[in-house]
């Protein structure tokens, strides 16, 4: 049998798809590049913005006729979109040709869902599976079929406790759960043993700077970074994502002193206006954010800084947006990911007054794209 996985969203999802692939490879199922050739078609979905969700729905919907001609094919939908129970149920009704629906919290059960579905198909049963767990857990020892070349992703912490008012992640990924440091170190040693080439290891978490808080008294992200750098091997280390309120001097120190850590940092600021940051529940001010940036630039002059920006958050005025543009110019980022605010069901910001019209969001996002180009041009000239 052959499988094909379509992945939407962030690196966390890309890596989780490597685990889904690992489960299938272990069963002797092999990957194929064309979706139409696959016996098992998987969609690993994203819920961060409405656009991501709509894209997934469109992709799944387009399989209706394929499934009509080849009813033996198995279609599975999982990830952040289907972790939202109401949406999972809606999809279940909307797409009767989807065989398996599950969320982010039970993707380790994929193997059993798959075996059950294959058995059902063999006896011509049309039984379908929909299973959304609400239990936060950490599953170790899942097979991983790595497919990102020399980039190796390693989860260090799952979930998020921050509840930024616009964000769906805490609802679909649960509360923060750090992995055991020993498990992380062993996984990295295994990766290094598997190749002689230089590799890049990227530590993953919704907020890597929270690492260890739920588990250890005196061992956090900085300690983990330093311990990993002591491992013998030909590798470079990076990580995402960092929350500005949690990044410590010890972490900045590790980035500056450890040769294996790449001199880059993705530090999402989201907005340049303190009023908007407060409404976003980000828990830092532009003054404290700039203190971190200045410290980083002083200690690591060649650092490559990138950020995320949301434009058109409820209540964002021209004045607030101007502050965002000023901040971007002051920091002189090497890269900006700019998004239009997308109201997510169940979040605080969804119900806020003063929602910004689409046209203005669109203008602002385009303005930022031009600003980024300008900064990049200036920097290349320099
Ligand atoms: N609307 C727009 N952008 C969002 N992000 C998170 N939630 C939303 C939302 N509701 C952006 C943030 C975050 C990035 C991963 O996605 O900028 O840092
Ligand atoms: Fe979402 Fe905020 Fe958590 Fe990041 S820190 S995942 S933006 S709630």
Q: What is the pLDDT of residue 380?
A: 83
Largest separation between any pair of C-alpha atoms in the chain: 68
| Residue 141 maps to a domain | no
Together in a domain, 287 and 244 = no
Q: What is the pLDDT of residue 295?
A: 97
| CA–CA dist 43, 45 (Å, integer) | 6
Let me know whether 249 and 368 are in one domain.
no
- Residue 217 CB partners (closer than 8 Å, separation 6+): none
In-domain check, residue 138: no
Q: Are residues 23 and 65 both part of a single domain?
A: yes
Q: Name the pTM for this structure.
A: 0.95
Kindly list the protein residues whose Cβ atom lies closer than 6 A to any atom of ligand 1: 48-49, 166-167, 268, 270, 308, 310, 339, 341-342, 344
Helices 318-331 and 358-381 cross at an angle (nearest 10°) of 20
The yes-or-no verdict on residue 36 having pLDDT over 80 is yes
The last residue of one of the domains, among 262, 288, 306, is: 262
Q: Which residue has the higher pLDDT, 30 or 376?
A: 30
Burial class (CB in 10 A: 0-12, 13-18, 19+), 264: middle
Q: What is the percent of the chain where pLDDT is above 70?
A: 100
Q: Are residues 7 and 96 in the same domain?
A: yes
Which DSSP category does 35 fall into? G
Give the model confidence (pLDDT) of 116-139 as tens digits.
999 999 999 989 999 999 999 899
Per-residue tokens: 132: 């959304």
The ligand placed nearest to the CA atom of residue 166 is 1
Count of domains observed in the chain: 3
Q: 270 with 230, same domain?
A: no
Contacts of residue 132, Cβ cutoff 8 Å, sequence gap at least 6: 82, 83, 85, 88, 101, 102, 103, 105, 106
The CATH number covering residue 117 comes to 3.40.50.12160
Residue 136 belongs to some domain of the structure: no
The verdict on 19 and 119 lying in the same domain is yes
Residue 153 and residue 241 in one domain: yes
pLDDT at 56: 96
Residue 64 CA to its chain's centroid (Å) = 29
Mean pLDDT of 311-336: 97
Regarding whether 229 and 277 lie in a shared domain, the answer is: no
Q: What is the pLDDT at residue 149?
A: 85
218: in domain = yes
Nearest to 277 by CA among 332, 316, 333: 316
At residue 144, what are phi and psi to the nearest 5 degrees? -120, 125
pLDDT tens profile 144-180: 999 878 999 999 999 999 999 999 999 999 999 999 9
| Closest listed residue to residue 142, CA positions, set 100, 185, 183 | 183
pLDDT value, residue 26: 96
In percent, the amount of the chain with pLDDT more than 90 equals 95
CA distance 29 to 357: 48
In a domain, 235, yes or no: yes
pLDDT at 272: 98
Domain closes at, from 262, 280, 310: 262
Q: What mean pLDDT do residues 301-323 have?
A: 97
Judge whether 76 lies within some domain.
Answer: yes
Quote the ligand 2 centre to 209 CA distance (angstroms). 12
Quick one: 76 and 125 in the same domain?
yes
Phi, psi of 63 (to 5 degrees): -90, 0
What does pLDDT average to over the chain?
96
Give the Å distance between the CA of 344 and the centre of ligand 2: 13
3-state per-residue secondary structure call for 120-133? HHHCCCCCCEEECC
- pLDDT (tens digit per residue) in 39-94: 999 999 999 999 999 999 999 999 999 999 999 999 999 999 999 999 999 999 99
CATH of the domain at 339: 3.30.750.200
pLDDT category at 208 given cuts 50, 70, 90 is very high
Same domain, 252 and 284: no
pLDDT category at 382 given cuts 50, 70, 90 is confident
Distance of CA 47 from the midpoint of ligand 1 (Å):
10
Residues 286 and 189 in one domain: no
Q: What pLDDT shows up at residue 338?
A: 97
Question: Quick one: which ligand is closest to 284's CA?
Answer: 2
Among the atoms of ligand 1, which is closest to the Cα of residue 337?
17
Could you tell me whether strands 177-178 and 157-158 are parallel, antiparallel, or unpaired per DSSP bridges? antiparallel
Q: 125 and 168, same structural domain?
A: no
What is the whole-number distance in angstroms between the Cα of residue 49 and the centre of ligand 1? 7
* Residue span of the structural domain in which 82 resides: 2-131
From 262, 295, 310, give the residue that closes a domain.
Answer: 262
Neighbours of 129 (CB within 10 A): 18
């Amino acid at each position: 049998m052959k499988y094909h996985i379509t992945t939407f969203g962030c690196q966390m999802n890309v890596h989780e798809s490597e685990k889904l692939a690992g489960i299938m490879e272990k069963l002797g199922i092999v990957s194929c590049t064309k979706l139409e050739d696959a016996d098992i078609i998987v969609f690993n979905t994203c819920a961060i913005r409405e656009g991501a969700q709509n894209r997934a729905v469109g992709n799944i919907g387009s399989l209706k006729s394929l499934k009509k001609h080849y009813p033996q094919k198995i279609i599975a939908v999982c990830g952040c979109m289907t972790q939202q129970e109401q949406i999972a149920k809606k999809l279940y009704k909307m797409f009767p040709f989807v065989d398996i629906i599950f969320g982010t919290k039970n993707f380790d059960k994929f193997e059993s869902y798959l075996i059950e579905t294959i058995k059902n198909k063999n006896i011509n049963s049309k039984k379908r599976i929909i299973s959304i767990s609400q239990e936060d857990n950490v599953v170790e020892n899942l097979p991983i079929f790595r497919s990102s070349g020399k980039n190796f992703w390693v989860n260090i912490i799952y979930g998020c406790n921050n509840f930024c008012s616009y964000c769906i992640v805490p609802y679909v990924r649960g509360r923060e759960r750090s992995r055991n440091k020993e498990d992380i170190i062993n996984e990295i040693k295994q990766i290094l043993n598997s190749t002689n080439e230089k590799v890049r290891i990227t530590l993953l978490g919704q907020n890597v700077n929270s690492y260890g808080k739920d588990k250890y008294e005196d061992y956090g992200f900085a300690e983990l970074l330093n311990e990993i750098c002591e491992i013998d091997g030909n590798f470079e280390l990076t990580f995402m994502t960092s929350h500005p309120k949690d990044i410590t001097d010890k972490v900045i120190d590790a980035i500056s002193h450890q040769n294996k850590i790449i001199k880059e940092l993705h530090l999402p600021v989201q907005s340049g206006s303190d009023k908007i940051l407060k409404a976003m529940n980000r828990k830092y001010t532009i003054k404290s954010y700039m203190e971190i940036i200045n410290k980083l630039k002083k200690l690591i002059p060649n650092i490559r800084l990138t950020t995320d920006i949301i434009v058109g958050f409820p209540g964002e005025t021209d004045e607030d947006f101007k502050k965002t543009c000023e901040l971007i110019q002051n920091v002189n980022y090497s890269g900006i990911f700019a998004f239009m605010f997308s109201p997510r069901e169940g979040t605080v910001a969804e119900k806020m007054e003063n929602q910004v019209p689409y046209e203005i969001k669109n203008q602002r996002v385009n303005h930022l794209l031009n600003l980024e180009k300008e900064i990049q041009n200036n920097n290349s000239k320099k």
